[in-house]
Amino acid sequence: MGALHAGHASLIKRAQKECEHVIVSIFVNPIQFNHYKDFENYPSDNKGDISFLESLNVSLLFNPSGKVVYPDGPKIKNYNLDNLDTKLEGLLRPGHFQGVATVIDRLFDILKPDRAYFGLKDYQQVQVIKKLASIRAECPEIIGCPIIREDTGLAMSSRNSRLNTKQKKAASSIFRALKFAEKEIRIFPVPPEALKREMKAIIHSSGELRVEKILFAFSNSLDLINDPNSPLDHYNESVQCFISAFAGEVRLIDNYCVS
């Protein structure tokens, strides 16, 4: 959605290694925002983005107007996403993933890619898009790519440009909390509730962040782990931790496979 950074560059470079031509689309999709103010405040830097893409020698930039993407006006479609859209982040942001699926489906129709590359910082979004691709007869092939982090561990995001210096430094506490969880689970039979308390304390100790949610779910199904007292290392499936937190008005998200 623009305001491109090294995380986007990593997607482009991988695509260039695996594909003959690489198209980058930039479109800030209004129907996936739950609050219009968030849509209005989403960072935009068209000139910087064009220069960025030129330096990477992409084959084509597709930067459409809203009328091109939604000729009949922006309206959310409803897809059968096997409830992937109603779990976790979907509970906090009703309709968000249907809005994402709508615009991605439209972009796929216009551009007709063989492969599409998405960053796993938006882990649930990648699962939703994979389901969308299955509805489309596995076309295109969806490639999930690793999170690119700053030296502090902060997951790269266009929203980071809205953080002041103190907030950006404090935001590194999110990844510290995730790594703490991974270490604790490896050493101790830790139940989720106790672990959440410790993780919140780490993030809140930064003095700049307010935790919205810390959730544990199975990595494949995204089913929430509801038992607050059953140790997370007792399951025979990998466990993903999802964190959302606010730095001022900026909402930050991150995730990590902790077990």
Cis status of the peptide bond prior to 71, with omega within 30 of 0? no
Cα distance between residue 253 and residue 259, in whole Å: 19
Identified catalytic residue from 5, 8, 21, 96: 8
Asked about 204 being catalytic, the answer comes back as no
Q: Which two tokens stand for residue 222?
A: 């995204």
What number of residues does the chain have? 259
SS3 193: helix
Cis status of the peptide bond prior to 140, with omega within 30 of 0? yes
Torsion from C-alpha of 257, 215, 252, 259, nearest 10 degrees: -10
Residue type, 247: A
Which residues lie across from 209 on neighbouring strands?
A: 247
Q: Residues with catalytic annotation?
A: 8
